[in-house]
Amino acid sequence: MTPSESNKPAFSIDADMVKHVAFLVRLGIQDEEAQAFSHQFSAIIDYFHLLNEVDTGDVPPACETSNTRSVMRPDVIKPSMPREDFLKNVPHREGDYVQVPLVFGEE
């Protein structure tokens, strides 16, 4: 059965609705594009109506769609690298701080 064969009334998205939504999202489209999109969107909505006709009464609801488990590790406090060891690898330093070029503005 195809969406056009369904006995449900077809929900139509016309070109004016497509142009309105395009305006809301600041997307410039031509009239020909709006007409093509209106047919495509209406066909998609018709397929959703077709899916609503499937009998799912005996299908248990799915609460877990995958068997993945958490990949997060526990947060363990560990000592960090000593400051002097870190500063040995810094190209420019000012005392105990890393000196970086300015990002915004001038001095």
Answer yes or no: is 70 within a domain: no
* 34 SS3 class: helix
Answer yes or no: is 95 within a domain: no
Q: Which domain holds residue 29?
A: 8-52
Answer yes or no: is 86 within a domain: no
What is the pLDDT, as a whole number, of residue 107? 57
Per-residue pLDDT of 64-74, as tens digits, reads 667 777 778 88
10 compared with 45, residue with greater pLDDT: 45
- Please answer whether residues 96 and 83 qualify as being in contact, where contact means their C-beta atoms are separated by less than 8 angstroms: yes
What is the pLDDT, as a whole number, of residue 12? 81
Residues 6+ apart with CB under 8 A from 81: none
Answer yes or no: is 28 within a domain: yes
Count of structural domains, the chain:
1
For residues 24-31, average pLDDT: 93
Per-residue pLDDT of 44-97, as tens digits, reads 999 988 888 999 889 888 776 677 777 788 889 999 999 899 999 899 999 889
What is the pLDDT, as a whole number, of residue 62? 76
Answer yes or no: is 101 within a domain: no
- Please answer whether residues 3 and 49 qualify as being in contact, where contact means their C-beta atoms are separated by less than 8 angstroms: yes
